[in-house]
Amino acid sequence: MRILRRSILLLMFIFVGCDTTLITYGIGEIIKIDSSAASLVDSSGALFGNESVKFRKPTLVLSVEVTTLVNTSGNIIKNKSQLGIYVMQVYGNNNKSVLAMISALKKGDKIKFLVSKILRMDQDYIYFSDKIGYNYTTQIIRL
């Protein structure tokens, strides 16, 4: 009876309470930056043909030569097929804006960014299945 209870508790822990979060980060050098912050647009219907500055939503695309992949523990992952050039669109949020990233990053900077996240066995978030994807500004760290 005792063994049966322990077995049931162990199975409950494995299938219900076991949170297996696996996160992979890429570390590499920025080789190209494509961005836009503001543009000058003609005013339609303005008197005397004045022009105005219209701010579009800023965009940022980074190309990064990844030389190292690490997990959350900092252990290096030796999967050479995942090394190479990653291209990512960067989305902003309230904590770190895209404009701040455009201003802070330059070609040659070394960064660390989220490549994939597996929360549990049934939930898989791969940001870069073919080395083209996206990240949020808070998932990118300048080293």
- Nearest by Cα to 88 from 78, 101, 76: 101
**Of the given ranges (16-25, 32-41, 97-106), which has the lowest mean pLDDT?**
16-25
Please state the three-class secondary structure of 30-53 as a single string.
Answer: EEEEEEECCEEEECCCCHHHCEEE
| pLDDT band (50, 70, 90) for residue 10 | very low
Per-residue pLDDT reduced to its tens digit, 57-86: 889 999 999 999 998 888 898 777 788 999
**Do 86 and 140 form a contact (C-beta atoms < 8 A)?**
no
CA distance 103 to 108: 14
Domains detected in the chain = 19-142 (2.40.50)
- CB-based contacts of 24, cutoff 8 Å, min separation 6: 69, 70, 71, 77, 82, 114, 115, 116, 117
pLDDT band at 39 (very low <50, low <70, confident <90, very high): low
pTM above 0.95, yes or no: no
Q: Which residue has the tokens 């996240």?
A: 117
